[in-house]
Amino acid sequence: MLLLHALARPLHDRAWLLAHDTGLLTEAQQRSWDHALQRRLQGEPVAYITGHKDFFGLTLKVDARVLDPRPDTETLVEWALELLPSGQPARVLDLGTGSGAVALALQQQRPAAQVTAVDASADALAVASANAQRLNLPMRCVLSHWMDAVPGPFELIVSNPPYVAEGDPHLAALTHEPLQALASGPDGLDDIRQIIAHAPSRLAPGGWLLLEHGWDQATAVQALLRTAGFVQVQSRRDLSGIERCTGAVMPN
């Protein structure tokens, strides 16, 4: 992928590389590739080096201002789409949108929905807004700490919030990504607690709250939702079979 990037070719065009395996790099291409390799050797995500990441059929522009979108998060999008009938209007809120990956995927798949993307980082919101404009999707961007600036009501609230415990050793390998988008208190659940506490005041009766979380947090998130009065509490597994998302309904 980094070689294709240096050659200004599509990042998945490996067949082209095989068909041109006797070609030589120009000096400029060699310098570009060497620079990309050095960045990767230092642990920088490929998406930051190339400036792009594919997510749910969309090619997003990403950089160090936002989290590198993960394939696991497509589980959250698939669940949300099941709850949004095609062609029917619905008010959808994406909390902590980052690059806009989840919100833009939902807006692209459900054009009749009114999707609002929220982030507390103006830098992140700039990335999401630029992606929306480039993809010509009418997603609304709002600078807000979680739900403070969005009164609702919404039929669906989704979020891939920070959920890594502050002392998790895996954070050492993620130094190129924004820490505020990763870590959330001693047990990783501080932001999820905030979202669950405030969601009832923003959800329409019968509305859904869907949350992505860590591999071992499903039971804890389910308990938080039940304590807050939600019903139909359940979890969904990602492609690896891990309970990656938990959701529930705001009772009527």
pLDDT digits (tens, 9 = 90+) for 182-229: 777 788 899 999 999 999 999 999 999 999 999 999 999 999 999 999
Alpha-carbon separation of residue 125 from 61, 115, 117, 220 (angstroms):
12, 14, 8, 30
What letters, b where the CB count within 10 A reaches 16 and e where it falls short, cover 150-175? bebebbbbbbbbbbbbeeeeeeeebe
Cα–Cα distance for residue pair 194/236, rounded to 1 Å: 21
- The answer to whether residues 168 and 189 touch, using CB atoms and an 8 Å cutoff, is no
190: helix, coil or strand?
helix
Q: What is the pTM of this model?
A: 0.90
The answer for 56, left when phi > 0, alpha when psi is -120 to 50, beta otherwise, is left
- The answer to whether residues 55 and 69 touch, using CB atoms and an 8 Å cutoff, is yes
Q: CATH for 53-249, among 3.30.479.10, 3.90.1150.10, 3.10.20.740, 3.40.50.150?
A: 3.40.50.150
Instruction: Give 106-122 pLDDT, tens digit per residue.
Output: 999 999 999 999 999 99
Cα–Cα distance for residue pair 73/210, rounded to 1 Å: 11
Cα–Cα–Cα angle for 78, 14, 9, nearest 5°?
A: 90
Give the start-to-end residue ranges of the domains of the chain.
Answer: 2-42, 53-249
| Per-residue pLDDT tens digits of the chain, which is 252 residues long | 999 999 999 888 999 999 999 999 999 999 999 999 999 998 888 999 999 999 999 999 999 999 889 999 999 999 999 999 999 999 999 999 999 999 999 999 999 999 999 999 999 999 999 999 999 999 999 999 999 999 989 999 999 998 877 877 776 677 777 767 677 778 889 999 999 999 999 999 999 999 999 999 999 999 999 999 999 999 999 989 999 999 999 998
Cα–Cα distance for residue pair 158/118, rounded to 1 Å: 11
